[in-house]
A and B are shown apart, each in its own frame.
Chain A
Amino acid sequence: MRLSWIVSSNAICALLPISGFANATIEGRVELPPSHSAPVMAKRYEIVTHGGVLSTQPPLAVVYLEGSFSKPVTPSTKQIAQKNLAFVPPLLPIQAGTRIEFPNLDDTYHSIFSYSPAKRFDLGRYRPDERPIPSEVFDTPGLVTLHCDIHEHMRGLILVLNTPYFVVTNPDGRFRLSGLPSGRYVLKAWIDSTTTREKPVDLKNGKTSHLDFP
């Protein structure tokens, strides 16, 4: 339920800025690392570290098209909520320049901060009814690790990208990106904080290409 919501909303967001520009599509499958936990229905996704490597659990990948694309004129706004002492969603790819709001949906204080090189910020302690909702604009591409100073176990990841063309795979690793411009590009798959795979693609308008990341 939640998973489909994440995937669909991301897909919609990704398609919006380029509609009417081009209409190439790519689909395929990313070979995800084995899950560390037993498969459970309605599994709650979380960010885990294994040997210092951050990834989602169960594993998910972000597939995006590398290239120089113009930034949107009006920066979009997205949300990462804190609910049940966890970031929702735990992993969010965005285009650089996007503003993210961090609504507190719990009954307790949260204090969200990040020391990541891509974005350092500190929202300080705030209550659930804090208005306006604390937010930050993420301009620099890179991986941002979110911490809560009060709940040290909480982790969230924001993958800031230069491109507006990205999608989060489904739990099987399958992905589909459409509305892409035609031309030669590099398609990348972010698997965890240290692993990003890439493959060249030749996108043709109106056509659907197929690419797997082994």
Chain B
Amino acid sequence: MIFSAKAIGPEITSFRTKLAIAMMLVVSGVTAFGIYLGQGRVTANAKRDLRQTFQAELSGLDKLQQLCNATLAERCRILAEKPRIHAALEDNALDLLYPSAKDELRDLMDGSDSSDQRAVSLHARFCRFLDGTGVVLSPPNQKDVGELDAKTEAQLALKTLPDKQQVGYLTEDVDLADETVDEVIAVPIFSSETGDVISALVVGFKPFEVISKRAGIEVKSGIWVGGRLHMPSISKAAQTILGHEISTALSKADRTHTDFTVTVENVPQLLFYKRLNPDSLFPPAYEICVYSLADSISQQNRLRWQFGGAGALLLLGGFVASHFIALRFAKPVERLALDSERNRAQRRQAEAKLMSTSEKLKRSTRYSADASHQLKSPLTVLRAGLEALLAHEDFKPEIYEELSTLLHQTHRLSGIIEDLLLLARLDAGYLQLHSEPVNLSQLVEEWLDDLDALPDSPDVEIQKKVPPDLYVAGAKRYISLIVQNLLENARKYNRKGGRIRVAAQVEGSEIRLAIGNTGQPIARDAQEHIFERFRRAATGAAVSGHGLGLNLARELVRLHKGDLKLVRSADDWTEFELRLRAAQPVVERAS
């Protein structure tokens, strides 16, 4: 089958390619999806880590600040309870206020020249008292309580005196170009006489500044107050820009703390902000923490490359695997295709053969039919001629005998032709059956009568056991022909003094008709061929027949969806069995 393999070669290749492409698509899709998921996860994790770092940082800061504030508050409380300070405030000796608190304030301010930043935070950079209306009481000697310019000092004033500790942030000009932020805590001073708030002590500190590198992430902190950002670790210009962005963000969102992404000095940053002094009488201030995303982004890029590389490897692997798998998958398909191609070729050949056979058969059938027809006319002429000769009276008696024999032979020939014609029509499938109830009992009866009337009938006894009015479904003409055939055979192949037995009975939906006769049985090896055309079981030349009868009978029985078979042929007894479909007797006809 080399030709078919060649023919389907391109198809197989195309199939293999399609399979490989489909598998590649699936692998690529899965890889891309995996990369997408992984990427998203990495990004989310990075952001979450940053947020956690910020929270940890902030909570640590908060704790430190709370501790610091508590310490300060306690110091201020002790300070405020000093009788001299009370006396100065209550006896309206405000000029004595700062001198009275000098020692305590010095203690509070002590260590301000320390280099340790955290330690600095526990000591005040400046202290001021507010009078009963919230206005700053100017100290007689600024050196004792920390120097402040008038502008900064004015920022310490409050509209009303607070009844609890307040935290605020204010900007202080260090020099013309630079400025700094101070954290201030205002502690109320209660009158020991009236219990009213008579003053407040405002203490200023350097705020914490967080610049830490944690887990490879650079963290910068700053304070946003009064629309301006103070973050010494970034440039002035960047501070201004970022300050505006934060102002915009704060005006939109009204939450205590949240985050957004900004770009500072061309580096993307994650910015967190949190209100430092909620519910304070001082202007709102926010803690700003900026995390550089550069590391995170480079990490993500690295990861992306890793993912990409892994994906490429996976794709390559997938390509190779899918190629091999496609090859393997294609093999059985190829075989299947080849097989089916071979099958198709075989079928085509078979069909061609069948066609030619059928053609031949048709031709032969037509030939038989034509031949039968062609034969019929001369035969008729011949028979008419012979009958005319027999009518003459002036021939010798031997001639009559001869003529009579010839006439008989023409009758026989006519029978053969009839049978051939019928068979030809059967073979060609032209025979159409008009089924109707046929009275089988009556047919058998008639044919047995005819059998008796035949001139050369041997001396046989007929045993009949047929119930009346057994109806079968079929065409009366053909049923009659079948019965005639069988009965004639039974008579023909009988011996002298033999017998014929005919028995019929109903078996379910069928009528069984058994016809048996005495006589020489059919040879065992000939029994299976008796229904073939032009076969004659018996060898006796004395028996007339042409070997078509049983074949024709069986063909007709099968046309009626019945069956005809040889039941037995041995020991001087041959018996055929005919089965035909039973039919309901026609009532009209019966009546």
Q: Are B91 and A51 in contact (CB under 8 A)?
A: no
A146 nearest CB neighbor, chain B only: B87
Residues 357-406 of B at the A interface (beta carbon under 8 Å): none
Q: Give me 16 A-to-B residue pairs in the complex whose CB atoms sit less than 8 angstroms apart, sorted by A's number.
A: A51-B194, A52-B191, A52-B194, A113-B84, A113-B87, A114-B87, A115-B84, A115-B87, A117-B91, A117-B92, A117-B93, A147-B83, A147-B87, A149-B82, A149-B83, A152-B82
Q: Are A145 and B87 in contact (CB under 8 A)?
A: yes
Which A residues touch B91, using CB under 8 A?
A: 114-117, 145
Which B residues touch A117, using CB under 8 A?
A: 91-93
- List 3 A-B pairs, minimum CB-CB distance, nearest first: A115-B93, A49-B193, A115-B91
A38 to B86, CA, bound (A): 29
A120 to B81, CA, bound (A): 20
Given pairs A52-B191, A115-B87, A152-B81, 13 additional interface contacts (CB within 8 A): A49-B193, A49-B194, A52-B90, A52-B194, A113-B87, A114-B91, A115-B93, A147-B84, A147-B86, A148-B83, A149-B84, A152-B83, A152-B192
A4 to B91, CA, bound (A): 31
A75 to B191, CA, bound (A): 37
A51 to B82, CA, bound (A): 20
Residues 114-149 of A at the B interface (beta carbon under 8 Å): 114-117, 120, 145, 147-149
Residues 52-91 of B at the A interface (beta carbon under 8 Å): 81-84, 86-88, 90-91
Interface string of A91-106 (1 = CB under 8 A from B): 0000000000000000
Interface string of B181-221 (1 = CB under 8 A from A): 00000000001111000000000000000000000000000
CB distance from B545 to the nearest CB of A (A): 159
By a beta-carbon cutoff of 8 Å, the part of chain B in contact with chain A is: 81-84, 86-88, 90-93, 96, 191-194
A120 nearest CB neighbor, chain B only: B93
Interface string of A170-202 (1 = CB under 8 A from B): 000000000000000000000000000000000
CB distance from B523 to the nearest CB of A (A): 155
A113 to B88, CA, bound (A): 11
A71 to B191, CA, bound (A): 38
Interface centre among A115, A116, A148, A149 (most CB of B within 10 A): A115
CB distance from B383 to the nearest CB of A (A): 167
A155 nearest CB neighbor, chain B only: B193
Beyond A145-B91, A147-B87, is A52–B96 a contact (Cβ under 8 Å)? no
CB distance from A137 to the nearest CB of B (A): 19
Q: Are A152 and B86 in contact (CB under 8 A)?
A: yes
B89 nearest CB neighbor, chain A only: A115
Which A residues touch B191, using CB under 8 A?
A: 52
CB distance from A136 to the nearest CB of B (A): 16
Which B residues touch A120, using CB under 8 A?
A: 93, 96
Number of A residues with CB within 8 Å of any CB on chain B: 14
A114 to B90, CA, bound (A): 11
Beyond A145-B91, A152-B86, is A115–B193 a contact (Cβ under 8 Å)? no
CB distance from A51 to the nearest CB of B (A): 6
CB distance from B68 to the nearest CB of A (A): 27
A148 nearest CB neighbor, chain B only: B83
A150 nearest CB neighbor, chain B only: B83
A145 to B88, CA, bound (A): 11
A48 nearest CB neighbor, chain B only: B193
A143 nearest CB neighbor, chain B only: B91
A115 nearest CB neighbor, chain B only: B93
CB distance from B83 to the nearest CB of A (A): 4
A115 to B84, CA, bound (A): 8
Which B residues touch A49, using CB under 8 A?
A: 193-194
Which B residues touch A145, using CB under 8 A?
A: 87, 91
Which B residues touch A152, using CB under 8 A?
A: 81-83, 86, 192
CB distance from B565 to the nearest CB of A (A): 142
A49 to B195, CA, bound (A): 11
A49 to B83, CA, bound (A): 15
CB distance from B58 to the nearest CB of A (A): 40
A148 to B90, CA, bound (A): 14
A189 to B192, CA, bound (A): 27
Which A residues touch B92, using CB under 8 A?
A: 117
Which A residues touch B84, using CB under 8 A?
A: 113, 115, 147, 149
Which B residues touch A113, using CB under 8 A?
A: 84, 87
Beyond A115-B96, A117-B92, A120-B93, is A52–B87 a contact (Cβ under 8 Å)? no
A75 to B96, CA, bound (A): 29
Interface centre among B91, B93, B96, B194 (most CB of A within 10 A): B91
CB distance from A193 to the nearest CB of B (A): 10
A204 to B447, CA, bound (A): 194
A115 to B86, CA, bound (A): 10
B83 nearest CB neighbor, chain A only: A152
CB distance from B385 to the nearest CB of A (A): 173
A154 nearest CB neighbor, chain B only: B83
Which A residues touch B90, using CB under 8 A?
A: 52
A145 to B86, CA, bound (A): 12
Interface string of A42-57 (1 = CB under 8 A from B): 0000000101100000
A145 nearest CB neighbor, chain B only: B91
A147 to B96, CA, bound (A): 14
A121 to B84, CA, bound (A): 12
A116 to B87, CA, bound (A): 8
B87 nearest CB neighbor, chain A only: A115
CB distance from A110 to the nearest CB of B (A): 12
CB distance from A185 to the nearest CB of B (A): 31
Which B residues touch A52, using CB under 8 A?
A: 90, 191, 193-194
A152 to B90, CA, bound (A): 13
A212 to B91, CA, bound (A): 32
Beyond A49-B193, A52-B193, is A115–B81 a contact (Cβ under 8 Å)? no
CB distance from A77 to the nearest CB of B (A): 25
CB distance from B36 to the nearest CB of A (A): 73
Interface centre among B84, B87, B93 (most CB of A within 10 A): B87
A92 to B290, CA, bound (A): 68
A151 nearest CB neighbor, chain B only: B83
Interface centre among B83, B90, B96, B194 (most CB of A within 10 A): B83
CB distance from A75 to the nearest CB of B (A): 25
A167 to B83, CA, bound (A): 30
CB distance from A8 to the nearest CB of B (A): 31
B196 nearest CB neighbor, chain A only: A52
